[in-house]
Amino acid sequence: MQKAMQNHVRNLVVLGTGGTIAGSQPDPRLAAEYDSARHGIDTLVAALPALPAGFALRTEQVANIDSKDLDFCLWAKLYERIVDHLRRAEVAGVVVTHGTDTLEETAYFLHAALPGSLTSQKPVVLTGAMRALDALGSDGPANLYDAFTLAATAGAHGVMVACAGAVHAAVEVRKTHTYRLDAFSSGDAGPLGYLENGRLRALRPWPAAPATQPREALDRAIRANAWPRVEIVMGYAGGSAAVIDALLRNSGGDTPPLRGIVVAATGNGTLHHAMEAALRRACDAGVRVVLTSRCGPIVPHAGMAFSHADSLTAVQARVAMMLDCMAHDAR
């Protein structure tokens, strides 16, 4: 679908993937009881007022799922469609509607995977909702309009998230609440800015593209769906080697080989002694190990047992490790 095409009008592309923003609620009073991904992207767009001046809209339904069910095939398809649109001169930016459960993973994936030559010139804005479209107090329409406003802002570039009036960089965004409308945070860094009265109040510069990966190799691997197996384990009181040893045993045959383990460790990357011993066995078996923390950024120190992922969450660090393995394998 294409709306209001005119000469010299720039296009915003919105890609729908489902989520609560496209959800339906049988009883509008019960905000936590709804069916995700019931409305198409055209229905969401129809609920909005006029677009920012000088822009027309193209919509595309890439998927319509609950984001808890997101898989690598959808990431690959989303990557392909965004690259295709960003390469078009008439496209000013891309907006993606997405479920909030895995939004931070998709945002980080797009930040790390999309060519910096594109995202350093144009914006990719993800948005979602914490209330279904037909719920009392639905936040989806406002979030979607804010996403369009952000994508239409002069000079906008990079992968960002627009939610509850705040703008977050993809590398910093985290979902921090299960129910509130302002469910996302940028942690210590704080938001990039706020969307207020139809315009952006910027607090920090636009997000920078990441360091260059072997671009052609990574692109081939994503399009081929050659995703390595990387698992996440958590550190906790009374931890043991059982989970890690089980992962090492369950590798081969019909199960893809285990390439990496990301640990959501206690404190500043600390590990139960039994888990640390098991992780060393994993390293000896050729499995990569990276530490994150359950509670925030890791402060590096000389006594760390393994490499760490700085301020990335465990789910983001998993994406980073997968992409690194993919780029290496495809060379």
**29-68: pLDDT as tens digits:** 888 999 999 999 999 999 898 888 889 999 999 999 999 9
What's the rounded Cα separation, in Å, for the pair 153 and 54?
Answer: 11
Same domain, 196 and 237: no
Q: Domain count of the chain?
A: 2
Q: For residue 321, give the CATH number of its domain.
A: 3.40.50.40
176 and 42 inside one domain: yes
| Residue 289: inside a domain | yes
Which of 20, 266, 292, 313 is catalytic? The answer is 20
Q: What's the pLDDT tens digit per position in 313-325?
A: 999 999 999 999 9
Q: Is residue 207 part of a domain?
A: no
The pTM assigned to this predicted structure is 0.94
Catalytic site residue 270?
A: no
306 and 233 in a common domain: yes
In a domain, 209, yes or no: no
State yes or no: is 255 an active-site residue: no
Q: Over 50: is that where the pLDDT of 3 sits?
A: no
Indicate which residue of 17, 59, 97, 100 is catalytic: 100
- Whether 223 is in a domain gets the answer no
Q: Which domain holds residue 189?
A: 2-202
Cα–Cα dist 203/217, whole Å: 36
CATH code at 19? 3.40.50.1170
Measure the CA angle with vertex 164, ends 159 and 169; round to 5°: 20
In a domain, residue 280? The reply is yes
Claim to verify: residue 187 and residue 303 sit in the same structural domain: no
177 and 268 in one domain? no
- Domain-located, residue 92: yes
Q: What is the pLDDT of residue 114?
A: 95
Does one domain contain both 177 and 289?
Answer: no
Tell me the pLDDT tens digit for each residue of 212-270. Answer: 666 788 898 999 988 999 999 999 999 999 999 999 997 666 788 999 999 999 999 99
* Residue 167 CB contacts under 8 Å (≥ 6 apart), including other chains: 150, 160, 161, 191, 192, 193, 194, 195, 200
Residue 331: predicted pLDDT: 75
Tens digits of residue pLDDT in 209-223: 887 666 788 898 999
**Binding site for substrate: residue ranges?**
67, 100-101
**Residue 219 domain-assigned (yes or no):** no
